[in-house]
Structure 1
Amino acid sequence: MTKLIAAALLDTHREELLRFIQRRIACPEAASDILQDCYLRFATYIEQNQVQNPRAFLYKMAANQTIDHLRQQQRLAEYQTDFDDVPELADPAPTPEEAISGRQRLDALKQAMASLPHKHREIFLLRHIRHLSFAEITEITGLSYNTIFKYLNEALLHCQKQMRD
């Protein structure tokens, strides 16, 4: 068969095929698109293959294309979100209460740091404010790794205790 014969066959069955598709799909535009896609596939197929019953073949093709369309719509629906269901994005700016609380925690940390022995405070600042490695702190202070670790641990425990009180 040629494309001309395919076009004639499809034209003959166009209205009934369109109704067949529309009964399964509510959108008339989608039904027309499916019918057009059926024509293109049918015309390509019959150029190289023999079809015994073109009408039945067209119906089967329309049914398969309709199922494919419905599956695609279902997959799309899984990824579409109703934005009313999405919680509001967090505002990065702190509320006045959070700002006051943060300021109070910072003041408490400053007081805790001020009450630390000098070496403990120095090691804490080098490690957590300047982000130096233990090797760099060892080089700067001349203290051993174990001593630095001990002082840092004591400083952290002291600050935690002071901030809880």
Structure 2
Amino acid sequence: MTLEAESRHSLYLAHRSALVDYAARILGSREAAEDIVQEAYLRFAPGKTPGESARQGLAYLYRIVRNLSFDVLKRRKIEYRGHAEDPPFWTIPQAADNPEQTVMFSDEVRVAAAALDALPSEIRIAVEMYRFGGHTLEGVADHLGISVATAHRHVRTAMVKIATALDRKNA
């Protein structure tokens, strides 16, 4: 081992515990931090910058650990992104309703549809976009050329009308 490589190795060994603690704070896992620090050493050990001070070498080692830790976090975020959402409702098995529940649900759907049809077109479009289309109130407002407050008022008005119609049906 050359004198420079030995110097880098002893610098790493002297600060290994602190490096693991540093990476563990970033990653939230001591095991992952151990792996990161080992990977950092593999990148740090064959250093090609002669004459660097121990202080510069230590700063460089910390920077390697930090960058590798952030890379792991990015990778986790990307991997988790696909799993974060619940599966679509239609993929989850549903309990079979008895015939009476099916008829009652169908009646409620008919009442809600009739209440929607009775609304002015702008209000109906607003509630359909927001509640069924997954649009934001800002998107609804942009589409209809109205303010966000008006879009919110349209959605609230429609929901109150539908709830009132369903209450009358059940009374």
TM-score normalised per structure 1:
0.46
Specify the structure having the higher radius of gyration (Cα): 1
